[in-house]
Every structure is written in structure tokens, then in C-alpha cells.
């Protein structure tokens, strides 16, 4: 086969890879659960390419992410559950349904109105989905929660923000930034108290550490800062500055493991002053 711009050819390639006898031994052994981590990883790599502003990489990473959709759809087709065309139909129907101000007669003049209508439509979809799941034999919780539907597979920081936003939509939220900062200080104090206990419990310590991260994520939400993206950028900054340390030491015929902490900290400060990573 030759490279193609036709989605039908990509579907044919995936079908061939999954055909016993002539397909790929690795692809043939995969199932939804084994492929799911790759799907999440490819989504991260798309976000990384966007953060770096690398459109060549973005094109490739979007292709990898599309392949994940095709892979799952092929396995579903083999299970007589649905096919790729059904996925396309479902998302086009959803986009049309959720944009009545574009594809229907509804009038919405600003983003706030659009969001209000969007939330109303999503609530109706949620009720419809619950009824469908019940009809298909899936157990539903006795009391519906506003926190339902936030994927467990999301990065923990991103999921924390989504949970906080949902709770905040019904008034369970701090009123101002100072209150959030006070909560962070409170959580740090509780962590320190547990850390200094002579009989400290590692599970309690982990719980207190998690509370700090949750409170910091809440601060980012109140400041309209995505904590996941902020941490990604901090990671990138750390990598660039540490590479400066490695490069400078290498120029001196040295290795980080042979350098003192003071020497590496001096090179870190140099990298910071030179704007490396910022």
C-alpha cells in the first residue's frame, strides 16, 4: 500500500493489521484495555507538540491519535458493537445538537449564552444516557452526583480542577484567592505536623501531601491557570536548566555526579540569569 490522504485507506490498513493469518502478531493480541494507555499517551504527545509550537510534530502526533480512534473502532467492529462510521455519526450528531445557535434557530449572541445553552443540552444528554445505561443493565448510583462523568483516567491535576469546577457550580467553593492561599498554608501545616510525628504514618503523610496538591490545583483554577500545563512548563524549564549544568560541566571535562551541589547550584543560577528555560 502507498501513503494516502483518504481515511478509508487508514481504516483498511487497520483492518489488515487485525486480520488473523496476514496481520501483525502484536496488533492481533491487543484489546481495549491494552490499547487505552497508548491512547492517553498520544493525547499527551499532542499537547506537548502544541506547547512547543512544533507543527510538524503536531501533524504526526494528531495522526497517531487518529490511529488510536481507528484502532478502537476496528476492535469494536470485530465485536459487533459499532464501527468507525458510527463514531463519526455520533460526534457529528452531538456537535449539531450542541450548537443550535449555529445549526438551528436558537439565538445566542455571546459566549456566556452559548455556555448556558450548552450546559442545558449536556444535562439533557446526561439524563438520556442514564436512562439508556439503566435499560442496558448498567447499575446507576442511588443518588445522582454532579461529579459524575469526570473521567478517572484524566491526569490527577486536571481531574482535580474539573471536580472543583463542578462543585463550585453549585456554590461549594472558596470566595476569594486569599481563602485558597490560607487553605494551602493549613494543608502545609498539617503535612509538617504529620512529618514531625515520631510515630508518623506513611499513608497519612501521603494523604496530607495529596491535600496540598489538591489545594494548589484549586489556586490555579481561581487564577485561570491550568495546573497541568503550568507543571509541564516547569518540567520543561527544569530540563533546560539542568541540561545547561550538564553542558557546562562537560565543557570542563566533568560529570554531574562528580560535581558538588554548590557548583551545580551556581550553574543553575547562571542558567536562570541567562533566561534559559524562561
Per-residue b/e over 232-264, b at no fewer than 16 CB within 10 Å? Answer: beeeeeeeebbebbeebbeeeeeeeeebeeebb
pLDDT-above-90 percentage for the chain = 72
pLDDT in tens, 64-78: 999 999 999 999 999
pLDDT in tens, 225-270: 999 889 988 998 999 999 999 999 999 999 999 999 999 999 999 9
Contact in structure between 76 and 18 (CB atoms under 8 Å) = no
Say if residue 142's pLDDT is above 60: no
Domain ranges of the chain: 7-135, 156-225, 229-273
Among 158, 211, 224, 157, which Cα is nearest to 185's?
Answer: 211
pLDDT in tens, 183-226: 999 999 999 999 999 999 999 999 999 999 999 999 999 999 99
Instruction: Provide the pLDDT for residue 138.
Output: 65
Task: Give the mean pLDDT of 23-52.
Answer: 93
Class of domain 156-225: mainly alpha
Say if residue 136's pLDDT is above 80: no
Predicted structure pTM score? 0.66
Q: Do domains 7-135 and 156-225 have the same CATH topology?
A: yes
Instruction: Provide the pLDDT for residue 79.
Output: 97
Say if residue 178's pLDDT is above 70: yes
Query: What average pLDDT is seen over the chain?
Result: 91
Cell readout for 101 is 445557535
- Fold for the domain defined by 7-135: Helix Hairpins (1.10.287)
Task: Give the mean pLDDT of 31-54.
Answer: 91
Instruction: Provide the pLDDT for residue 127.
Output: 77
Amino acid at each position: 500500500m502507498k501513503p494516502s490522504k483518504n481515511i478509508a485507506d487508514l481504516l483498511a490498513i487497520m483492518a489488515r493489521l487485525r486480520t488473523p493469518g496476514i496481520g501483525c502478531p502484536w496488533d492481533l493480541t491487543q484489546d481495549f484495555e491494552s490499547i487505552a494507555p497508548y491512547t492517553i499517551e498520544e493525547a499527551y504527545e499532542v499537547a506537548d507538540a502544541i506547547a512547543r509550537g512544533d507543527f510538524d510534530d503536531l501533524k504526526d502526533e494528531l495522526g497517531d491519535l487518529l490511529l488510536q480512534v481507528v484502532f478502537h473502532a476496528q476492535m469494536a467492529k470485530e465485536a459487533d458493537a459499532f464501527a468507525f462510521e458510527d463514531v463519526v455519526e455520533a460526534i457529528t450528531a452531538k456537535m449539531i445538537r450542541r450548537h443550535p445557535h449555529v445549526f438551528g434557530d436558537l439565538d445566542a449572541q455571546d459566549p456566556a449564552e452559548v455556555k448556558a445553552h450548552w450546559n442545558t443540552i449536556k444535562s439533557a444528554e446526561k439524563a438520556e444516557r442514564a436512562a439508556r445505561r439503566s435499560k442496558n443493565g448498567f447499575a446507576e448510583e442511588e443518588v445522582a452526583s454532579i461529579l459524575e462523568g469526570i473521567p478517572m483516567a484524566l491526569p490527577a491535576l486536571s481531574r482535580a480542577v474539573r471536580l472543583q469546577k463542578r462543585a463550585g457550580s453549585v456554590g461549594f467553593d472558596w470566595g476569594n484567592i486569599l481563602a485558597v492561599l490560607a487553605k494551602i498554608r493549613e494543608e502545609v501545616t498539617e503535612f509538617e505536623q504529620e512529618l514531625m510525628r515520631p510515630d508518623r504514618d506513611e499513608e497519612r503523610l501521603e494523604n496530607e501531601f495529596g491535600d496540598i496538591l489538591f489545594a494548589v490545583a484549586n489556586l490555579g483554577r481561581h487564577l485561570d491557570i491550568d495546573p497541568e500545563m503550568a507543571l509541564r512548563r516547569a518540567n520543561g524549564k527544569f530540563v533546560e536548566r539542568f541540561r545547561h549544568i550538564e553542558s557546562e560541566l562537560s565543557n570542563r571535562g566533568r560529570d554531574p555526579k562528580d560535581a558538588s551541589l554548590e557548583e551545580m547550584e551556581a550553574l543553575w543560577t547562571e542558567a536562570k540569569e541567562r533566561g534559559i528555560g524562561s
